[in-house]
Amino acid sequence: MSGRTLTIVLLLAPALASAGVRPGYGGTVRIGVPVAPHLAPGAPTAADAILERATTLPLLDPDAAGSLAPGALAEVPSPEAGARAFRLRLRPGLVDASGRPLGAEDVAARLAALARDPTSPDGWIALPLLGADALASGRAPVLAGVQVLSPTELLVSLAFPLPDFPWLLATAPAALRDAGPFVLAARRPGTSSPGDPIALSRNDRTRRGRPFADALELVPVDPRAAVRLLEQRKVDLVLRPEATGGRPGPALLAATATVAAVNAARLGAGAEAVRRALASLDRAELARRFVRGPAEPLASLAALAGAAAPPLSPAPGWAEPPAPARIVLLADSSVPDQRALAERLQVKLFDRGLRAQVDLVDAARARTRLASGDYDVALVAVLLRSPRPALAAGQLAFAARGPDAGRRAMAALAGLEGERAAAAADRLARELDLFPLVTSGLRASLGPALEGFAPHADGTFDPGDLWLVAGGTP
């Protein structure tokens, strides 16, 4: 066996239990989540990410070791033309849950759909594609950067060099719809309420073969219910900020990153005082005291895991800048911990002589007001989709400042890693008036019967790999 083949086999093999029990099939795996999935376009929650991963087929699979493995694509594409073009080759014989063949046209359609809606939180994925801006603005009818060469091959051209592009293909929004290990079970209108479990049934046609569990349920649970249900074996896995008993699993770090965006256009001369106040924040304290669950200071827009987060440096100047009379601090109430963070910022701003009014609004209104500039300082929380610095920075910049900033961030950090990426991200943050604050994740609490939980480098996991020892029977 070649080394590459062996590597791929290892990457795709489900995690073995400590003792020698091979995965069994059958049963329903129940996952407790903080809030029910939205099941609609919008800022995705952790539950939405699980649901998306369960029902889609990734083009590429990130693994726990930080590498990419082929998914729907037959190979990880290599950069061509100075990382401005990538040739994607799909595996033959792919079908969705209904048995419909999937091919290059479906990948092209997916990328075009992402490019067509610039207001979608996932729109950043299409930013590097040549012609994405023209398609989004209606100046072009088709996505110029995507050429379908054959039923299983397409050529993607980029607007700027981006060696990290394969990692974009590994994100869940780029994955092929309705081809994952599970399909959403049909709900009869009027028979369910928002707090009901989301039920999914297995899809035997998915590329990696029949999932181990027959069914999957996403159950919204509060902390107390999570502990009780885990003890009673009514849920098998709980993903919440806090531990809820059972066996501790690996933490899903860097799931949500929060930055503060300063609206200099509205603050005018008062912007500098706000910047100085934000720069004086102790991000380590924010992460430790005001975020539930596993959290770290967000060292930079590159969102490098484990990177040191030195104190933010205010712009040089000996004179105390003029302070605005009162500022509006905008935050998304649907994202966990945003209220606590906003209120902490309110206190810190007050200490610096700035009076702030916290406006907690729902996700849709937060996005609208952010886009229209109706804020002085905004907390922007993003469910990070990729561990690559260029893509994390691009996603954060897109969410806070729009498509042009997202493109600029990706181009500035393209191919960079480590300290070079962090330095470029620092420059970018100053240019975009963004203050990286914290990154927070979820803790996994596993029931006694659950096996196969092995998060990838991007914080996702394949729900098809989850299985129950002895079918889940005690």
Partner 1 sequence: MRPALLALLALLSLALLAAAPARATTSIDAVARDLAREVGAPFEGRRALLLEVDARAPALAAPLATALEAALSAAGYAVTPWHGGGDAEGRARASGQDWLLRVRAGLVPGLPSPREAGLGRGLVPGQRDLAAVGELIPAWSSFFLQRRPDARAIPPRVVQARTAADPETFLLAREAPAPGAPFASVRTLVRLPGRVLALAIGEAGEPGRLAIVAVTPDAVLVLSPTGERLAERSAELGALRPVRDPFATVAVGDFGGGRIALFRAGAARGEVLALRGRALERAGDLDAAPLCAGEAGLLFGELEPGTGVLRDKLGRLVDAAATPRSRRTLYGAACAPRGGPVAHAVLGTDLRVELLGPDLRPVAAPAPLASGSGFALADLDGDGTVELVASSPDPSQPERIRVLAPLSGAAPVLETPPVAGAILAGAAGDLTGDGVDDALLAAVAPDGGHTDLLLVTTDPREVR
d(CA 378, CA 435): 10
- Please give the full DSSP string across 3-69, using - where no structure is assigned: HHHHHHHHHHSPPPPSSS------SEEEEEESS----SSSS--HHHHHHHHHHEE-SEEE-TTS-EE
CB neighbour list of residue 366: distance below 8 Å, 6 or more residues apart: 330, 331, 332, 333, 378
The stretch near partner 1 (CB under 8 A) out of 125-133, 205-213, 303-311, 315-323 is 205-213
d(CA 284, CA 392): 20
From 4, 5, 82, 139, residue interacting with partner 1 (rule: CB under 8 A): 5
Which residues 98-117 are close enough to bind partner 1 by CB under 8 A?
none
Largest CA distance in the chain: 70
- Residue number with CB closer to partner 1 (203 or 244): 203
Q: Where are the beta strands (DSSP E) in 60-188?
A: 60-62, 68-70, 79-80, 85-89, 146-150, 153-157, 176-177, 182-184
From 25, 285, 353, 427, residue interacting with partner 1 (rule: CB under 8 A): 25
d(CA 259, CA 392): 12
The stretch near partner 1 (CB under 8 A) out of 19-27, 68-76, 107-115, 364-372 is 19-27
Q: Does 265 bind partner 1 (CB under 8 A)?
A: no
Least Cβ distance, residue 473 to partner 1 (angstroms): 7
- Residue number with CB closer to partner 1 (177 or 210): 210
How many other C-beta atoms can be found within 10 angstroms of the C-beta atom of residue 85? 18
Q: Does 464 bind partner 1 (CB under 8 A)?
A: yes
Least Cβ distance, residue 128 to partner 1 (angstroms): 31
- Residue number with CB closer to partner 1 (20 or 306): 20
The stretch near partner 1 (CB under 8 A) out of 1-9, 272-280, 377-385, 432-440 is 1-9
DSSP state of 111: H
From 128, 451, 453, 461, residue interacting with partner 1 (rule: CB under 8 A): 451
d(CA 306, CA 302): 11
From 187, 247, 288, 289, residue interacting with partner 1 (rule: CB under 8 A): 247
From 40, 204, 317, 318, residue interacting with partner 1 (rule: CB under 8 A): 204
* Amino acid letter for position 341: L
Q: Does 474 bind partner 1 (CB under 8 A)?
A: no
The stretch near partner 1 (CB under 8 A) out of 111-119, 222-230, 408-416, 466-474 is 466-474
Least Cβ distance, residue 221 to partner 1 (angstroms): 23
The stretch near partner 1 (CB under 8 A) out of 4-12, 169-177, 284-292, 304-312 is 4-12
From 4, 18, 141, 188, residue interacting with partner 1 (rule: CB under 8 A): 18
The stretch near partner 1 (CB under 8 A) out of 23-31, 77-85, 185-193, 421-429 is 23-31
Residues in the chain: 474
Q: Does 9 bind partner 1 (CB under 8 A)?
A: yes
Q: Does 372 bind partner 1 (CB under 8 A)?
A: no
Q: Does 269 bind partner 1 (CB under 8 A)?
A: no
Q: 381: part of which helix (H) or strand (E)?
A: strand 377-383
d(CA 39, CA 48): 7
The stretch near partner 1 (CB under 8 A) out of 201-209, 226-234, 302-310, 372-380 is 201-209
From 211, 394, 406, 463, residue interacting with partner 1 (rule: CB under 8 A): 211
Which tokens go with 169? Answer: 């293909």
Nearest to 196 by CA among 205, 187, 207: 187
Q: Does 448 bind partner 1 (CB under 8 A)?
A: yes
CA-to-CA dists, residue 329 to 9, 80, 153, 292, 343, angstroms: 50, 45, 48, 21, 9
**Burial level of 208, CB count in 10 A (0-12/13-18/19+)?**
middle
List residues binding partner 1 (CB under 8 A): 1, 5-6, 9-10, 13-14, 16-26, 204, 207-212, 247, 448, 451, 464-465, 469-471, 473
